[in-house]
């Protein structure tokens, strides 16, 4: 055994040359973590590892072994995933927490096509914008999923895209293109450096990129599971969420095969779940050990349908819930789901039981349309006159991002919808008895529970400004507001 010159701090990824299918890492405390290895196209396999504890770690792989030291996170670490650890599910299973228990709320964007269309410079621009607005996750199709899609292998040319598997057009996943994933390494590293978690969908089951026969429903389940293992091996020592079912029924055999594989080999227990198409009973595999969350979607017609979120929240056993795809802003025609529509949608979904978090989408951004006139995209889904860069500035994204900023630092872990403590608005009860109320048009809120804290803060969710603070004189006094504008009331 050799002592490596390798140095790292907690939760930072390190890479080692390895032999065999897995490597065991043991901490001085006795904690043992097992990480799968992967083939990176050279003579050696590799393993990536992020230590959750500071101290001495030993590793062993076949006849090879070594040890290295890991330091605590530096003072002032600004990236929450290095300061507090990766996400996992909360004790009650309703929401996210960091590894050290710090509450977390998903605030996700949908840039599905980024992995095979974007360049590093573009991702830096994208990530800086989303970080500044408050986003901390992004939904990604890890490979271009349409079997009949054609175009140049050039991300800078119209209809061009990178290719992850040479045989995906045949519905197979056996001819992996290592160079594609080496390129993806850089893109995902940029996102993580900005505090944005990649939500990794292996091969889509629904519409895909252009609606040209997705491979996710036809690839052999064993190959789908093997690809999930590869994703965990290659990217699982970074913050990640695994979306093993994408835009399908959830009953596709690939979904269960992938979910079980992720659950078996991910030593960090990062969240794994399903994202459904709109017209489906969203409860497949509800009792599966590998399933952490269920995401619905409400179609793309600019309608608020929080009933779908509320219906999922009642499913048993408990799984975390979110609306993974509200209507994309300006999808198909200018004005669809624009502006404050997105803010109202986010707050309403959260209060209906989508307490894992909120998700936003913009037409032309999710396809990573290179410029406003790029051909080849169905008109129904693109934003007129916009490429990805123009869509980045759509107004609604600001309001969704602000939700996360407004609730940052609050005890949101396992908060629950509550219709019993206030007569008006959509409400959430926090652990310890705190209350959050959202009202689309503001106004006074009558409280009918003397356990609601008397102190309050009232926020305009359109800009995050605090419009009032105070303390009610008695438990039967209302939360005061003149009305006429959206308001969020926080009682702690």
Work out the average pLDDT over 240-249: 98
pLDDT above 70 (res 310) = yes
Please give the helix or strand (H or E) that residue 19 lies within, else none: none
Specify burial of residue 55 (Cβ count, 10 A radius: 0-12, 13-18, 19+).
middle
Q: Distance between CA atoms of 199 and 139, rounded to whole angstroms?
A: 5
Residue 3: per-residue pLDDT = 46
Q: Is the pLDDT of residue 470 over 90?
A: yes
Predicted confidence at residue 64, as pLDDT, reads 84
* pLDDT at residue 4, as a whole number: 57
Buried b / exposed e along 293-307 (16+ C-beta atoms within 10 A):
bbbbbbebebebbbe
Chain centroid to Cα 249, Å, comes to 20
Kindly report the CA angle at 257 between 24 and 143, in degrees rounded to 5? 85
Confidence of residue 44 (pLDDT cuts 50, 70, 90): confident
pLDDT at 27 over 80: yes
Confidence of residue 465 (pLDDT cuts 50, 70, 90): very high
Tokens coding 429:
């009860």
Gap between the terminal Cα atoms of the chain: 54
Predicted confidence at residue 320, as pLDDT, reads 98
Neighbours of 62 (CB within 10 A): 11
**Percent of the chain topping pLDDT 90:** 95
Strands in 241-248's sheet, in edge-to-edge order, are: 320-325, 293-297, 272-276, 241-248, 197-201, 137-141, 106-110, 357-360
Nearest to 349 by CA among 308, 301, 300: 308
Select the more confidently predicted residue: 41 or 353: 353
Res 437 pLDDT > 90: yes
Scan for tokens 């450096």, then name that residue: 193
Mean pLDDT to the nearest integer, 67-91: 97
User: Which range (61-70, 305-314, 473-482) has the least confidence?
Assistant: 61-70
Contact of 401 with 128, CB cutoff 8 Å = no
Residue 63, pLDDT score:
81
Hey, what's the torsion of the CAs at 327, 436, 133, 339, to 10 degrees?
Answer: 40
What share of the chain in percent tops pLDDT 70? Answer: 99
What residues form DSSP beta bridges with 200?
140, 242
Give the tens place of pLDDT for each residue, 250-279: 999 999 999 999 999 999 999 999 999 999
Q: What would the two tokens of residue 230 be?
A: 């590869």
Chain centroid to Cα 198, Å, comes to: 6
Q: Please list, in sequence order, all residues whose beta carbon lies within 8 angstroms of the beta carbon of residue 257, skipping any fewer than 6 positions away.
A: 221, 222, 224, 225, 228
> What confidence tier does 5 reach under pLDDT thresholds 50, 70, 90?
low
pLDDT tens digits, 351-364: 999 999 999 999 99
pLDDT digits (tens, 9 = 90+) for 189-232: 999 999 999 999 999 999 999 999 999 999 999 999 999 999 99
Give, as one character, the DSSP assignment of residue 478.
P
Across 405-417, average pLDDT? 98
- What's the order of all strands across the beta sheet hosting 487-491? 416-417, 426-429, 435-439, 487-491, 455-460, 465-471
Q: What are phi and psi of 18, to 5 degrees?
A: -140, 165
Residue 43 binned pLDDT confidence (cut-offs 50, 70, 90):
confident
3-state percent breakdown (helix, strand, coil) of the chain, nearest 5: 20, 30, 50
Average pLDDT in the chain: 96
Question: What does the alpha-carbon distance between residue 167 and residue 147 come to, in Å, rounded to a whole number?
Answer: 9
Which own/partner contact pairs does 148-152 have at CB distance under 8 Å and 24+ positions apart? 148/212, 148/213, 149/208, 149/209, 149/210, 149/212, 151/376
Who's near 347: CB < 8 A, 6+ residues apart? 403, 426, 438, 461, 486, 488
Helix (H, G, I), strand (E, B) or coil at 258: helix
Dump strand ranges (E) for 383-482: 416-417, 426-429, 435-439, 455-460, 465-471
Contact 141, 149 (CB under 8 A): no
In whole angstroms, give the CA distance from residue 135 to residue 133.
Answer: 6
């Amino acid at each position: 055994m050799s002592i490596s010159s390798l140095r790292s701090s907690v939760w930072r990824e390190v890479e080692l040359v390895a032999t065999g299918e897995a490597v065991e890492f043991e901490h001085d405390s006795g904690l043992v973590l097992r990480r799968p290895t992967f083939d990176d196209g050279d003579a050696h396999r590799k393993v990536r590892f992020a230590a959750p504890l500071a101290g001495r770690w030993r590793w062993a792989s076949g006849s090879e072994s070594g040890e290295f030291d890991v330091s605590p996170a530096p003072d002032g670490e600004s990236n929450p995933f290095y300061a507090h650890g990766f996400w996992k599910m909360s004790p009650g299973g309703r929401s996210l927490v960091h590894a050290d228990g710090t509450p977390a709320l998903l605030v996700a964007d949908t840039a599905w096509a980024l992995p095979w269309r974007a360049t590093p410079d573009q991702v830096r621009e994208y990530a800086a914008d989303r970080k500044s607005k408050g986003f901390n996750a992004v939904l990604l199709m890890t490979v271009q999923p349409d079997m009949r899609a054609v175009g140049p292998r050039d991300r800078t040319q119209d209809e061009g895209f990178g290719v992850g598997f040479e045989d995906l057009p045949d519905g197979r996943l056996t001819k992996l293109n290592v160079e594609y994933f080496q390129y993806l390494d850089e893109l995902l590293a940029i996102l993580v450096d900005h505090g944005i978690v990649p939500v990794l969908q292996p091969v889509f089951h629904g519409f895909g990129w252009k609606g040209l026969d997705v491979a996710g429903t036809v690839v052999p389940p064993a190959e789908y599971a093997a690809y999930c293992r590869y994703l965990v091996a290659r990217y699982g020592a970074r913050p990640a969420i695994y979306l093993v079912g994408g835009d399908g029924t959830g009953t596709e055999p690939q979904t269960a095969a992938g979910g079980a594989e992720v659950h078996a080999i991910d030593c960090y227990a990062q969240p794994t779940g399903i994202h459904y198409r709109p017209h489906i009973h969203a409860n497949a595999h509800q009792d599966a050990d590998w399933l952490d969350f269920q995401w619905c979607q409400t179609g793309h017609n600019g309608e608020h349908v929080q009933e779908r979120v509320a219906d999922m929240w009642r499913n048993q056993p408990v799984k975390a819930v979110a609306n993974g795809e509200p209507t994309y802003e300006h999808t198909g025609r200018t004005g669809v789901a624009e502006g404050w529509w997105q803010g109202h949608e986010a707050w309403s979904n959260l209060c209906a039981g989508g307490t894992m978090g909120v998700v936003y989408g913009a037409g032309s951004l999710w396809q990573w349309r290179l410029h406003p006139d790029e051909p080849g995209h169905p008109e129904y889904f693109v934003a007129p006159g916009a490429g990805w860069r123009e869509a980045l500035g759509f107004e609604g994204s600001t309001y969704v991002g602000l939700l996360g900023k407004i609730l940052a630092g609050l005890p949101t872990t396992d908060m629950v919808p509550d219709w019993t403590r206030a007569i008006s608005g959509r409400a959430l009860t926090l652990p310890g008895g705190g209350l959050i109320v959202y009202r689309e048009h503001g106004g006074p809120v009558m409280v009918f529970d003397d356990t609601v804290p008397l102190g309050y803060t009232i926020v305009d969710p359109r800009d995050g400004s605090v419009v009032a603070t105070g303390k009610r004189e008695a438990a039967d006094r209302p939360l005061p507001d003149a009305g006429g504008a959206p308001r969020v009331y926080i009682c702690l």
